[in-house]
Each structure stands twice: as C-alpha cells, then as structure tokens.
C-alpha cells in the first residue's frame, strides 16, 4: 500500500515518481516535540496537570498523590508496557511468519536493550478500516492492559477507492474505542501511501488523513510506514508487501517513533525517578517542619 503522505505540523512531506521498478519515494523531514510534566506512579510515567499551591497545601497534594497512586497502580505492569499493533497485511506480515513481521522486530529490539515490554501483533491480512471497526472491540477487550496502541489501517481502502470520509471516520472510531477502553494508552498512527491510480486529488486527500488524525488525537505520527522499503524490488515480495529484510527496515523505522514511549514506561526508570522524587518530598517536608518550629520559637520569645 503505497502513495503519498504529509505531516503539516512538522513540515514532513513525501513525493513519488514512476519508474520501472515501481514508485520511487523521496522524503524531507523536520521535527520537534512538546514536553509536559510527568508524575511517577508505581514505576510508570503518567501525564500530570496538578498545580502545587503554596502555604498549607502540602498535605492536600500528598493526599491527592496517594489517591492517584491507588487509582493508577493497577495499570502499571512490572513487565513493562503492552504494545498493540492493529493493522492489515503490512502488520500481519504477508507471506511471512509472525516472527518475521515488523512488530516482532520491535519486540527483538526491546529485548536486546534489556527493557521490559510485550508486543502484540493484531494485524489481519486484507482488512479495511470498516472491518477494523468491527474487530477492534474484541481485540482490545482481550487485553487487560494496552499501554501503546499502533494503528496501521486504510491502505486497502485507498486501493479500492473507498470514500475518504468513510475511511477517516472509521479510523477515528477505532481510536475512540481504544481511548474509551484504555484511556492512558499512548496512540501511534502509521501513515500509508497509495499510488495515484485514482487521481491526484484522491491520493493527496488520502495522504492527509493520517497527519490530521494524529493531530486531532494527540497521537505520535509515523509519516510513512514503508519509508526506504516501498518500490524496492529487493525488499518486497510484490508491489506492496515487504519481504523479511524489508520488515526489518520497517521495524527499525517504527522503533524510531516508539523508543521514547517505551522507555517512559520502563518499571526500572520509573522506580529510580520515583525514589528521587520522594527524596525531594522528604527534604521539603523537613524544611517545612523546621519553619514551623521557628515560628513557634518566635512566638515564645515574643511572649
């Protein structure tokens, strides 16, 4: 499933030209990321919007934090994050075994680093976005915990000329159901590209679906899943599907976007930062206690 994609937020664009070997895809990229404060809970990182108030709010903050720990601790696994890949034949590994498909490459990378994490390959060959809507509840319902959700769908829609509004609505519906079932999951959207058989208007509009979805859902965008693989006869079994070597390259591409998300959810990293944070709280508490004693001494001297 090849074509053209564009990330309007980060200035990333992809172009193509027809050659005998297929589509020749080039890319320009830029990047950036926004940082937000995090609270360490039971070895996991969770987004925080808490504001610490001065004077007398210390106990309130501590109580709130304890309640948040209780609420979230069951969602943090000592085995690391569960990473669910939901897609079509590009994810399932057309003509390959699951152990050769790119999600398995991601798992091997995690293991090689000595990190914790479990990859689940929920790819299904031939799936459209509409079929994905019908399957997603069963897939996410089968997993108690989903920490990172990677969506790779829509290519079959594009090849069949499915109305673009339907594809976009179906993909959004899938994301909505994931967010409802696993509200703390990080979302990742893998962009796919299609050939210009149906005209440039359809092709370009199709390409814009993925960056727009990513922006609307605050998801990480992989601009083009098959970057460096598409159209290379040495890396594909046909005009669409990567071979084993191609999947290794795809896995490396995907890992560039997943690495930070996986690292944030490592139990060992979380515990180390948690201990550091607790030392800071203990230090602050001690300082506050000293100040309280000082106020008392002043009162006695004045009397």
Give the CATH number, domain containing residue 254.
Answer: 3.40.50.1110
pLDDT at position 78: 75
Classify residue 240: in a domain, yes or no: yes
Q: What single-letter DSSP state applies at residue 55?
A: S
Average pLDDT over residues 233-254: 98
Alpha helices in the chain (DSSP H): 58-73, 89-92, 102-112, 129-141, 155-160, 164-181, 200-216, 244-264, 267-302
The C-alpha atoms of residue 136 and residue 122 are separated, in whole angstroms, by 10
Classify residue 44: in a domain, yes or no: no
First to last CA, the chain: 83
pLDDT at position 268: 73
pLDDT at position 276: 52
Among 6-20, 55-69, 117-131, which stretch is predicted with the lowest mean pLDDT? 6-20
The C-alpha atoms of residue 289 and residue 247 are separated, in whole angstroms, by 59
Average pLDDT over residues 32-40: 34
- Does the global pTM surpass 0.75? no
Structure tokens at 242: 């990567």
pLDDT at position 189: 99
Answer yes or no: is pLDDT of 207 > 80: yes
Classify residue 56: in a domain, yes or no: no
Average pLDDT over residues 175-198: 98
Classify residue 180: in a domain, yes or no: yes
Catalytic positions are 89, 239, 241
* Structural domains in the chain (count): 1
The C-alpha atoms of residue 81 and residue 276 are separated, in whole angstroms, by 22
259: pLDDT confidence band, cut at 50, 70 and 90? very high
Average pLDDT over residues 37-56: 37
* Residue 224 domain boundaries: 6-23+79-264
Classify residue 48: in a domain, yes or no: no
pLDDT at position 115: 98
Classify residue 211: in a domain, yes or no: yes
Classify residue 109: in a domain, yes or no: yes
Mean pLDDT taken over the chain? 76
Contact predicate 140/182, CB 8 Å: yes
Classify residue 291: in a domain, yes or no: no
């Amino acid at each position: 499933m090849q074509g053209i994609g564009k990330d309007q937020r980060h200035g990333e664009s992809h172009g193509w030209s027809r050659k005998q070997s297929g589509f020749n895809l080039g890319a320009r990229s830029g990047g950036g990321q926004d940082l937000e404060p995090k609270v360490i809970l039971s070895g996991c990182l969770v987004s925080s919007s808490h504001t610490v108030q001065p004077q007398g709010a210390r106990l309130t903050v501590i109580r709130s934090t304890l309640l948040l720990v209780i609420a979230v601790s069951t969602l943090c696994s000592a085995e690391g994050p569960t990473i669910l890949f939901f897609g079509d034949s590009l994810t399932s590994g057309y003509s390959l075994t699951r152990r050769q498909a790119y999600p398995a490459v991601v798992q091997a990378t995690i293991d090689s680093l000595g990190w914790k994490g479990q990859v689940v390959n929920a790819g299904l060959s031939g799936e459209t976005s509409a079929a994905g809507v019908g399957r997603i509840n069963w897939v996410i319902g089968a997993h108690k915990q989903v920490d990172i959700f990677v969506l790779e769908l829509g290519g079959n829609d594009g090849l069949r000329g499915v109305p673009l509004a339907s594809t976009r609505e179906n993909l959004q519906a899938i994301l909505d159901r994931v967010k409802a079932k696993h509200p703390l999951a990080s979302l990742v959207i893998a962009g796919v590209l299609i050939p210009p058989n149906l005209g440039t208007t359809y092709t370009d509009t199709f390409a814009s679906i993925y960056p727009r979805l990513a922006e609307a859902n605050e998801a990480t965008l992989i601009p083009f899943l098959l970057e460096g693989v598409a159209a290379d006869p040495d890396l594909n079994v046909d005009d669409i599907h990567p071979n084993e070597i191609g999947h290794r390259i795809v896995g490396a591409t995907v890992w560039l976007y997943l690495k930070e998300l996986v690292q944030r959810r490592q139990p060992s990293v979380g515990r180390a930062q948690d201990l550091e944070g607790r030392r800071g709280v203990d230090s602050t508490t001690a300082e506050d206690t000293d100040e309280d004693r000082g106020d008392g001494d002043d009162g006695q001297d004045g009397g």
